[in-house]
Structure 1
Amino acid sequence: MKENTQRKRYLIVGGVAGGATAAARLRRLTEEAEIILFEKGEYISYANCGLPYYIGGVIEERDRLFVQTPEAFGKRFALDVRTQSEVTAIAPASKQVTVRTADGQVYTEAYDKLLLSPGAAPVRPPLPGIDLEGVFTLRNVQDTDRIKAYLSEHQVRRAVIVGGGFIGLEMAENLVHAGAEVSVIEMAPQVMAPMDYSMASFVHEHLREQGVKLFLEQAVQSFEEREGGLAVRFQSGSTLETDLVILSIGVRPETRLAEAAGLRIGEARGIEVNEYLQTSDPDIYAVGDAIEFPHPLTGKPWLNYLAGPANRQARLVADNIHLGNRERYEGSIGTAIAKVFDLTVATTGLPAKRLRQLEIPYLSATIHTASHAGYYPGARQMDIKVTFSPEDGKLYGAQIVGYEGVDTRIDQYALAIKRGATVGELTELEHAYAPPFSSAKDPVAISGYVASNILSGKMLPLYWRELRDARLDEITLIDVRTEYEARLGSLPGAVNIPLDDLRERLGEIPSDKPVWLFCGVGLRGYLASNILRSNGFSEVRNLIGGIKTYRAATAPNPLPDTSSASSVKKPSLEQASSPASASVHQLNACGLQCPGPIVQLKQAMEALTPGEILEVQATDAGFPRDAEAWCHSTGHRFLSQEAKGGVYTARIEKASPCAIATAQTQDGAHGKTFILFSEDLDKALATFILANGAAATGTKVSIFFTFWGLGAIKKAQKPPVKKDFLARLFAWMLPSDTRQLPLSKMNFLGIGPRLMRYLMRSKGVDSLETLRQQALDQGVEFIACQMSMDVLGIDRSELLDEVTVGGVASYMERAERSRVNLFI
């Protein structure tokens, strides 16, 4: 006779990703168990990640956000689905939960096994005004409906996103699509915290191209109601007017229910679970955003707010609940991807900054390559960075910024990391190859080859921070690009020796100094390093990622103007008053790496007649800047530029022979050098005004800041620096930044400078800070005197990021090449 067994009772708290998946899996495992799914909201199993796209109108139909309705889901899997039912308490001893319904009824349910999938709650700091109408968070369907209704009922011309994470940037894109002018406020120096700064800098550039204002390293102090809208007040004191605010600061694991039940909460403040996803109570399991689990690479508990791992956990936990603990969860390394306008941004594993925080030794390799064969139409740029162990080459992490094929590559890196692969094993991956999809050497394999060269010592890496902070008088910096490329813009202090001329010019390279090399993306620098090391040069290093990574990572991030959001305009392809009848010729340079597009531009321009226009398309992100520099040096007229879908289009008008000859004469002119010795506001103003005027003529301009003149290049917001007594004393006595510079005459205890700045504003004269930025934008070289810094106790981190550090030799070398030298 068949034994009569009691029917098992499984309760699930939370009906979105993890809870709904576990419920369906449990039913597939057994038809006998009673399964009850509680969800405090109105909906279950909806697409959280699709919410920004519905707000922006990309997803037009609201119903498409719902994978299942409660009724259909319950019927298909024979589940008791109870929406608008919040579990308010758990009694582990009696194995019961307390439930409160939307109409206020309270009851209890018993369980054999309980699964918690409560998710995470958005962070809402207690800032003044955070509860004002027009300030929203975005986490669920109810939030989405409120934002959508607000957009339809109000004229939203300006929107502010507080937080530059994945969801925040997706929201920024969709609000732009909805017609708003968008500002993103981020407390950190970069958007997308899981990425390294050098990779996030490519995202910064793209956001600005799309007209988004970036307020980096800015903290919000409060929100205020204004006539016709809102105002966001920064801790710095400035305000930004807006019509809508979306808070995307982050989320916290929803652990209140578990904590009240006496379940163990871990050091990362998530619900602590074991390898079977079992909590400290053997009959209670947990999955999703609310749990913490050891990171597979570090072994340290961490929180991972991603839908993919939550669904995997849900499937495993269903097996363990019904069949007993037999399926171990291996953990997640945090593989994420996002669409940011035309860009695709992805990351997996541990970035360099996280490895530094954990004090884990690492190396990194950065490459810039095409998504598929360059000769096949449509190839787009792809920037990849990998981190790995310096001992055995074990892969730690990967980051990609690109346009197409990013998703397939990041998945390959993720699998390699989870399987404990080395960078050498990346070269063993077998990739499907056809020109529309890849190259014979796939970008993943190329990153493996570059990393293996670094690991083996075949190439000694030079990273962008090392070059930025270097004393140029102590090294020999060589630009191995062509002379033509170097003329379009090189790095301060660099000597141009093209790769193909290197063997014949070895005698020009000092053998008593380290030799640092750079090129466009790193390949020619690697080849040059092989030549030098084979010819007896021992200290030879190559700039990883080339000048492309260096320029992106060291580009300034000036704060936008807060006075008018409408001042941000996306680049357009207007013909800049070129004749309507001008003949337009097309040049497709897509898929070519630098200097390919410029070389083709030069060749195509030679075939045109004056007045004709050349429209060039390229996928090299640096092409518009190079094209504009090329026009400046050759006399041709740069009309406009546009970026769309990873394709950069520039229009250039062919100049007359007279204009070309004039530009070539100016290009060969000597430079101008200034020494700023004074800390006086009026003298600093004179220096930057003269420097801007000189730079506008196309000549090379350098400013050497020594002793008191260093005050003109100090940051307004400085990082904390440990100083000895004398250095602290000097810091107290000297101006902290340009806002504290005195006047040489009529200072009147600080009243004079304020009066001077007021008069300048009223007369429409640019401020000192604006003139300084204009000089940097024009390529004026700022050199800080190392000896003066040492004497005054000024650290390099206190100066503007664009400043290079040098000594007397740096000044003398530039002075010898200059026709004008001024001491101010």
Structure 2
Amino acid sequence: MAKYLIVGGVAGGATTAARLRRIDESAEIIMFERGEHISYANCGLPYYVGGVITERENLLLQTPESFNKRLNVDVRIHNEVVRIDRENKLVEINDLLNKTSYTESYDKLIVSPGAEPIKPPIPGINDEAIFTVRNVKDTDKIKGFYDEKKPKKAVVVGAGFIGLEMAENLHHMGMMVTIVEMADQVMTPLDYEMAAEVHMHLKTKNVEFYLKDGVSEFNREGDKLNIHLQSGRKIDADMVILSIGVRPETKLIKEAGLELAPNGGIKVNEYLQTSDSNVYALGDAIAFPHPITGKYMNAYLAGPANKQGRILANNLVLGHKQKYKGSIATAIAKVFDITVASTGLAEKVLKKEGIKYISNITHGASNAGYYPGAMPTTIKIMFDPETGKLFGGQIIGYVGVDKRIDLIATVLKNKGSIYDLQEIEHAYAPPFSSAKDPVNQAGFTAGNIIEGLVNIIHWDELHQLHAPNNFILDVRTPDEFELGQIEGAVNIEVDKIRERIDEIPKDKKIIIYCGVGLRGYFAARILMQRGFKDVVNLSGGYKTYEHATCKQSNEDIFESSYIANDGHIYRGKDKDAEDEKDIKTIEIDACGLQCPGPIIKLKKEIDKLEDGQRLRQKVTDAGFTKDVASWCKMTGNKLISCDSEKGIISAVIEKQRKNGATTNTNIELPKNKTMVVFSDDLDRALASLVIANGAAATGSKVTLFFTFWGLNVIKKTDKPRVEKDLMGKMFGKMMASDAGNLKLSKMNMMGMGSKMMKKRMLSKKVDSLEDLLKTAMDNGVEMIACQMSMDVMGVDAAELLEGVEIGGVATYLEEAEQSNINLFI
């Protein structure tokens, strides 16, 4: 009779024990668990905290008693295995309740220690209001704290899958939620431009989040926990959730002298056997070669752990017949109304590993566009440029993301290619898909690229191009073009390309884009077959470009929020509130229409209304949130509200134009002031700030656009260390380090002039440049750093003063249009 000892329960250990018993009734099986729960749904913990799962018992899949009764497994909870004696095949156990120790022998030992939350040594991290979310005990603490303290503001540190799930559930409980993330994006398994869609969605849900920032200290101030960020910002909260990540718990294994993989996980072979033939391991703590890279990796996922348990038990009883093939890390998460999923390797990993690949983004719909309820879906796939072998996939959408990531994962796991995606035979009916599913379309588009029918360019490549030998061609409609376009683009609608083809130069690189890439492909085919040699289509179209190049973070949105005596959170009062019961509102459903459909329908329907009447339009195109605001600004109509719920955007627009003219006969001229600050001369910088502060004092909105050398004016004094390329380092040495090191334009005299000027200003009680900068920011002066200039001069965003925004020429021009003074300094 074989004797098996299992260290650890939950997905790995409990699954192994159950499978062992089902195929070996006579075996002696003992399972040790240092906690009180042996089998629980840890993936459901955030939803129990948020009240979506209402019964705690529903999380507990098996109790020690039920496990023993059904499977005849000796379950010993509150028993911690502290030492493995491999030579004598013994383990030492501490009984945590009785405070005693004992040993137990084994024929085969199975270890499933799992992973532990990372809790760095940040000052104040042990405060009673700071929690991790790893087991049922953790959620009990959070629920108890909430019931007693009734917190209103929560901070989630870390924006991985669990962190975002916690953010959603705390928001669901009625709290103001702030996320702090060290990376420049949420959900790091995603590529940047895909994460940008998640950022946009979080903004629609009024979630505050700080990117490229971390926590340096927690400080208790009465009832509040003050959180100091590495950037110097301070935010307060009633409670904090740590979701920084996890690491394999390998102390027991390391002390037993078993081999660890280079990444720190427990090294196992294809039979899940450690370096000791009598010891096996599974779950979060093991490291196994990745099916694509061959490098050892951990898979912190319940699915692989469950499958490993079944394979391991089979091999123990039936011999080494079944091999574990590794995990491609297929994962999915619900983030408010959207679903985010990934499988295989991200583009950034392929690039790091030096694997040749092509990536491409396609946008589709969850079901046939003519059937109600079609929701947008974005798919990104990575594949071999020659064979089409699939490397990875990422999907963001509202409906059907789960089934589509599973299709891609199945092809990938079986070493399939983009041609297999083309051949997938899916269940089709209008409510569920299109005749060519978005996964098929991703495969078809990839095939076109490999076969040379179209060449593509990516958003980040285009974003960095400023060469005069490029011709950027926007093939959308003129209405779409007016709502926003890539700088320098020429608009020729796709259906008019043939008749206007002489306007397109043949001696330049033609960069084509449309809304999502489809019309761009049609335009590229026309030009390529008419003798144009260098033609590329923008992957993902303007939709992906706009998401990826706009401001990603969402800081300081709760500054005007307050908690009233009734305990509710208020975000200010609507100064335009009025009795709206007599206002006529027309309901329009534009769900399922893709850009520019919603805007075209909006224009058509609002033209039918009288001044003062309103139109409520429902749309499923995620880009409509920004488009409707821009359209209203351009046309003079008033955007009353724009909300999102379960992927449906509902916007209310009040008509304020009639026959093409504004209803207000007293036309109000622009009052804003804008300045382009090109120079870093001390005297010119002073003039800029003096004028800006003076204008701000009159109530005008003031915008300063810092470009090229002007960027030196807004650099931090204590800048973080930033990695730069050679040119960036060279510019850094030539440029002033901050505002305190600027030189005079005349009579600088190797720095003496600057010192004399500062001394003279001090004696005359004139504020220093540094003080003027602070005053300007306090007075609401908007400071924008030119992204293009930053790229050219090698200036990183982390070097700039807090509060400085980053934008392009379009941002400046939009402000300039609202100004009656525009200066170049």
What's the TM-score once normalised by structure 1's chain length? 0.88
Task: Work out the CA distance in 2 between the residues paired with 1:149 and 1:334.
Answer: 34
Task: Identify which of 495, 514, 529 aligns with 2:524.
Answer: 529
Q: Distance in 2 between matches of 1:227 and 1:301?
A: 47
1:507-656 aligned within 5 A: 507-558=502-553, 560-561=555-556, 564=559, 566=561, 577=578, 579-656=580-657
- Cα-to-partner distance string for 1:354-399 (whole Å, 9 max, x where unaligned): 1111111111111111111122111111111111111211111111
- What's 1:189 paired with? 184
SS in 2 for 1:328: coil
User: For residues 483-505 of structure 1, what are the alpha-carbon distances to aligned partners after superposition, in whole Å with 9 as ceiling and x for unaligned?
Assistant: 11111111111111111111111
In structure 2, what is the Cα distance between the partners aligned to 1:475 and 1:428? 37
- 1:110 and 1:782 mapped to 2: Cα distance? 66
- Amino acid of the structure 1 residue aligned with 2:772: M
Match of 2:779 among 743, 762, 765: 765
CA distance in 1, matches of 2:408, 2:641: 39
CA separation of 1:692/1:238 partners in 2, compared to 1, >3 Å: closer, same or farther?
closer
Do structure 1's residue 51 and structure 2's residue 55 form an aligned pair? no
* CA deviations over 1:146-168 (Å, ceiling 9, x no partner): 11111111131111111110011
Alpha-carbon distance change, 111 to 361 in structure 1, aligned in 2, over 3 angstroms? same
1:235 counterpart residue number = 230
Q: Which runs of 5+ in 2 are unaligned?
A: 563-568, 746-753
Structure 1 residue 714: Cα displacement = 6.8
The Cα shift of 1:509 comes to 1.5
**Match runs of 1:375-774 below 5 Å:** 375-558=370-553, 560-561=555-556, 564=559, 566=561, 577=578, 579-657=580-658, 660=661, 676-679=677-680, 680-685=684-689, 705-706=707-708, 708-711=709-712, 719-723=722-726, 728=729, 731-732=732-733, 734-736=735-737, 747-748=758-759, 752-760=768-776, 765-767=779-781, 770-772=782-784
**Cα distance in 2 for residues equivalent to 1:739 and 1:337:** 49
**Counterparts of 1:370 and 1:358 in 2: how far apart (Å)?**
33
Alignment of 1:77-476 (within 5 A): 77-102=71-96, 103-476=98-471
**Structure 2 CA distance for partners of 1:226 and 1:820, relative to 1, 3 Å:** closer
Once residues 470 and 173 of structure 1 are traced to their aligned partners in structure 2, the CA distance between those partners, rounded to angstroms, is 38
**8 A Cα contact 2:610 2:658, kept in partner:** no
The whole-number CA distance in structure 1 between the counterparts of 2:798 and 2:142 is: 42
Q: What SS is found at the alignment partner of 1:54?
A: helix
Q: CA 1:69/1:620 → structure 2, altered by over 3 Å: closer, same or farther?
A: same
Give secondary structure in 2 for the equivalent of 1:772: strand
Give the Cα separation in 2 of the matches to 1:166 and 1:395: 24
Amino acid at match of 1:373: A
Q: What's the counterpart of residue 749 of structure 2?
A: none
TM-score by length of 2: 0.88
The Cα of 1:607 is off from its aligned counterpart by 1.8
Give the deviation of 1:709 after TM superposition: 2.6
Q: What letter is aligned with 1:424?
A: Y
1:3 aligns to what? none
Return closer, same or farther for 1:629/1:692 CA change in 2, 3 Å cut-off.
Answer: farther
Distance in 2 of aligned mates of 1:86 and 1:691: 69
Partner of 2:61, secondary structure, is coil
In 2, are the aligned partners of 1:573 and 1:642 still within 8 Å (CA)?
Answer: no
Structure 2 match to 1:4: none
Aligned-pair CA distance for 1:258: 1.0
What SS class does the counterpart of residue 615 from structure 2 fall into?
Answer: strand
Q: 1:38 aligns with which of 32, 52, 61?
A: 32
Relative distance call for 1:43 and 1:254 in structure 2 (3 A) is same
> Matched residue of 1:192: which SS?
coil
What secondary structure does 2:393 align onto?
strand
2:60 to 55, 66, 89: 66
How far, CA to CA, are the matches of 1:691 and 1:505 in structure 2?
47
Note closer, same or farther for the CA distance 1:719–1:192 as it changes in structure 2 (3 Å cut). same
Distance in 2 (CA, whole Å) between partners of 1:124 and 1:427 is 45
Q: 1:559 to 1:573 in 2, by over 3 A?
A: closer
What is the Cα deviation at residue 634 of structure 1?
Answer: 2.1
Secondary structure of the corresponding residue to residue 259 of structure 2: coil
The answer as to whether partners of 1:170 and 1:338 remain within 8 angstroms in 2 is yes
Structure 2 Cα separation of the partners of residues 691 and 131 of structure 1: 48
1:64 Cα shift? 0.7
Q: Say which SS state the counterpart of residue 317 (structure 1) adopts.
A: helix
Q: Give the aligned residue type for 1:278.
A: Q
- The 3 A distance-change label for structure 1 pair 78 and 730 is closer
For the residues of structure 2 that align with 1:510 and 1:532, how far apart are their CA atoms? 11
Cα distance, 1:692 vs structure 2: 12
Report deviation, 1:578: 7.7
Greater CA drift, 426-435 or 743-752: 743-752
Asked if structure 1 preserves the Cα contact closer than 8 Å seen for 2:265 and 2:298, the reply is yes
Amino acid at match of 2:784: R
Moved more, 32-41 or 571-580: 571-580
Identity among equivalent pairs (%): 48
Is contact 2:561-2:572 (8 Å) kept?
no
SS of match in other structure, 2:276: coil
- The change in CA–CA distance for 1:435 and 1:805 in structure 2 (over 3 A counts) is same
Q: Given that residues 33 and 79 in structure 2 are in contact (C-alpha distance below 8 angstroms), is that contact kept between their aligned partners in structure 1?
A: yes
Q: Kindly tell me the number of residue pairs found equivalent between the two proteins.
A: 785
CA distance in 2, matches of 1:351, 1:820: 47
Q: Deviations over 1:64-92 (max 9, x none)?
A: 11001110111100111111111111111
Measured after TM superposition, the shift of residue 728 of structure 1 is 4.9
Distance 1:692 1:388 in 2: 53
One-letter amino acid of the structure 1 residue matched with residue 54 of structure 2 = E
2:203–2:554 CA contact under 8 A, matched in 1? no
How many Å separate the matches in 1 of 2:347 and 2:303? Answer: 24
Distance 1:512 1:684, change over 3 A: farther
Q: Would you say 1:12 and 2:6 are equivalent positions?
A: yes
Q: Given residue 226 of structure 1, which amino acid in structure 2 is its aligned partner?
A: E
2:39–2:61: 8 Å Cα contact kept in structure 1? yes
3-state SS, counterpart of residue 288 of structure 1: coil
C-alpha contact (below 8 Å) 1:196/1:351 kept by paired residues: yes
Tell me the SS of whatever aligns to 1:649. strand
SS of corresponding position for 2:508: coil
Checking the alignment, whether the CA contact within 8 Å between 2:80 and 2:95 is kept in structure 1 is: yes
Contact between 2:329 and 2:344, CA under 8 Å: does it hold in 1? yes
CA distance in 2, matches of 1:401, 1:215: 22
Residue 776 (structure 1) aligns with: none
**Shift, 1:605, TM fit:** 1.4
Whole-angstrom CA distance in 1 between matches of 2:116 and 2:158 = 15
Q: 1:61 to 1:803 in 2, by over 3 A?
A: closer
Distance 1:513 1:785 in 2: 26
